[in-house]
Structure 1
Amino acid sequence: MKRQNVSQTKVLILPFPLQGRINPMLQFAKRLVSKGLDVSLVTFCGNKPMTVHARCSVKLEPVFDDLGADDLLHKSADDYLERFNAVVTLRLPQIMAKLGMCKSENPASCLVYDSLVPWALDIAKEHGVYGAEFFTMSCAVSTVYYNVHEGLLKVPIMEPCVSMAGLPLLQARDLPSFVYDIKAYPTFTQLSTDQFSSFKKADWVFFNTFTSLENEVVKWMSKQRPIKTIGPTIRSKYLDKRVEDDSDYGIHLFKPEMDICVKWLNYKQTGSVVYVSFGSLATLGEDQMQLLALGLKRSERNFLWVVRETE
């Protein structure tokens, strides 16, 4: 890309609306902004606003579910996915048009979409926009899902050990839960394997890793199609400090209490605290909460446990 055309390049980032998937794509967006590109990030908010850090350098394009749905993060996974897919499918072309990303206006435009929303590539192509698929997980985990998608790994898993190219011999229970126990997580099993439906059609494929960390599996995946490793996508403060004032991710699905937590942690010895979090979607039942609480108590260790008000 010619240096003088960098500022004219428009990039739209579309993460799946879970904190662990927003964070790496947001950090990637900050890197692009630091290189002079015009970058916007789609934030699906349900019907509640996200908490946004004032110094976030990436322009945001909030998408609300304006049909009056309840807080979607407390709905079932199927309901959440259905609303997200429906609303973003409708709004995404409108956002691209507003940003002037259509081919006739800006032939260098690109949509970087989360691998969990492979259908976004079809929308990009319909509007003459390049599409780049972004895998937020390690290449090793993604390779397991690729093998399931391609029929190279048959599920349910019947054998005690599993052999896959680029990976060491694994016991069945070493596999991701969505593969090892597909009956327990049918929605997420389907979601995780479907991410490869656009893998060979995207203009570029990015993996949130670096080659020396996963050398063998990255080489194997590169033989399936050209890929680029662009990780680790963490805050620049803890990496190379090339992005100014990058000490906070900048966007939060839930209001963080970082100051309280850090102040408490500062009084604890290094390596003495157990951290417990089940992510943005998972919710625990009463029995599970009780069992986990008893286990933490019996560990006789300090612990920091992320618990929602509803739990």
Structure 2
Amino acid sequence: MATIDISPSKIHILAFPFPAKGHINPMLHLCNRLSAKDFRVTLITTASIFKSAKTKAIGSIKIECIPDDSDEPVEEDLKGFLARLRAAASRGLEELVEKCRKTDPYPPRIVIYDSTMPWILNLAHRVGLHGASFFTQSCAVCALYYHMDQGTIQLPLDKSVTVKLPSMPALESNDLPDLQYFPDPDNVITRTLLDQFSNIDKVDFILFNTFEELEDEVATWMAERWPIKTVGPTAPLLFVDKRLENGNDQQGNYLFETNAEACLKWLDERETCSVVYVSFGSIAAPGEDQIEEVAEALLRSNCKFLWVVREEEESKLPKNFKSESSEQGLIINWCPQLEAIVFNWV
């Protein structure tokens, strides 16, 4: 395992999340915790993300952007987007490191990157940095992907088979990630999830968004094979450790505009645990028929609901659905999930 034996204040860390909110926020909260321990931290974003950010710095955390050809014709498919991202990062990361070495008294020593971008490790080593792969999911979920990658779990899965894996309980087919529905080894989602382990034996540090008491057995199994650290939960300091009052994260300090005030005001007027929360995340793009089914189910449920619909997905909502459901639910582009859960609304 790689070691760095100088004081935190002299260690400059680059953090490069996958450019989607569900990956940026965990990385940002990890950055806040590192900053609270006196590490020097720079968060890397792409140019298109940087344009939509509400701030250009968070506390002592610097924010740098790299070009991502956002002015070029954008490929609509995920495969095209990933190819563009990789090409841009390959150029931009090296240029950023070189700039920091010329201008910063403490140039970067390590880059923490999202595990879905394993190719960054090769870039890091090429420019003389240590590489730390950050898995935003739990050890158990990542272990399942690893066994799928190794062929221990065969895809497509026979639904009658019970899967037995080291340090995990016996699992039925419906206990496994939905990757079982993507048996094509060249499927972009399959490859993105399984390629997280393509160079795992070369990674200097491996970080998981979990903690040992939650996943002791599977975390121990992983630690016997790789230099892992459990660093979770990566959530705002306000909810994790109120003693760390460094000013960076006491209000969540998300990178994007959140509409938090309107959202939380609406939730505050609802009874405890009375709201159904619906979100498809920052990447999934359900079809109009699927959106229509969800909308109909919410109306028929007679439950209060909070539905997060990305701006670019709003056109898929059924006509007049917003007005018809205004008494019952709230449709918003983004929700401060932690606040909603911690204060027991949903």
Greater shift after overlay, 63-72 or 202-211? 63-72
* Corresponding residue number in structure 2 for 1:250: 254
Change (3 A) 1:226 1:193: same
Greater shift after overlay, 188-197 or 54-63? 54-63
Secondary structure (helix, strand or coil) at the match of 1:288 reads: helix
* Corresponding residue number in structure 2 for 1:119: 119
Give, in angstroms, the shift of residue 67 of structure 1: 5.6
| RMSD, aligned CA | 2.4
| Counterpart code for 1:250 | Y
Native 8 Å contact 1:134 1:205 kept in 2: yes
Secondary structure (helix, strand or coil) at the match of 1:275 reads: strand
Q: Which runs of 5+ in 2 are unaligned?
A: 315-346
Secondary structure (helix, strand or coil) at the match of 2:300 reads: helix
Give, in angstroms, the shift of residue 192 of structure 1: 0.4
* Corresponding residue number in structure 1 for 2:23: 21
For residues 189-268 of structure 1, the aligned pairs below 5 Å read: 189-241=190-242, 242-245=244-247, 246=249, 247-252=251-256, 255-268=257-270
Give, in angstroms, the shift of residue 279 of structure 1: 1.0
* Corresponding residue number in structure 1 for 2:276: 274
Change (3 A) 1:94 1:120: same
Q: Which runs of 5+ in 1 are unaligned?
A: none
CA distance in structure 2 between the partners assigned to 1:178 and 1:128 by the alignment: 35
Greater shift after overlay, 169-178 or 184-193? 184-193
* From 10, 13, 23, the counterpart of 1:11: 13
Native 8 Å contact 2:211 2:231 kept in 1: yes
Secondary structure (helix, strand or coil) at the match of 2:168 reads: coil
Greater shift after overlay, 198-207 or 179-188? 179-188
* Corresponding residue number in structure 1 for 2:166: 165
Change (3 A) 1:25 1:38: same
CA distance in structure 2 between the partners assigned to 1:204 and 1:141 by the alignment: 19
Give, in angstroms, the shift of residue 185 of structure 1: 9.4
Cα deviation digits, residues 88-108 of structure 1 (max 9, x gap)? 11101011111129xxx9687
Matched, 1:182 2:183: yes
* Corresponding residue number in structure 2 for 1:65: 68
Matched, 1:81 2:77: no
Greater shift after overlay, 219-228 or 132-141? 219-228
CA distance in structure 1 between the partners assigned to 2:175 and 2:259 by the alignment: 33
* Corresponding residue number in structure 1 for 2:329: none
For residues 281-296 of structure 1, the aligned pairs below 5 Å read: 281-296=283-298
Give, in angstroms, the shift of residue 51 of structure 1: 2.2
State the identity %.
37
Give, in angstroms, the shift of residue 243 of structure 1: 3.9
Native 8 Å contact 2:101 2:108 kept in 1: no
Native 8 Å contact 1:139 1:214 kept in 2: yes
Q: How many residues align?
A: 304
Secondary structure (helix, strand or coil) at the match of 2:51 reads: coil
| Counterpart code for 2:143 | T
CA distance in structure 2 between the partners assigned to 1:281 and 1:298 by the alignment: 27
Give, in angstroms, the shift of residue 69 of structure 1: 2.9
Change (3 A) 1:48 1:106: closer
Cα deviation digits, residues 115-140 of structure 1 (max 9, x gap)? 11111111111111111111110001
TM-score (norm 2): 0.81
Secondary structure (helix, strand or coil) at the match of 2:117 reads: coil
| Counterpart code for 1:68 | D
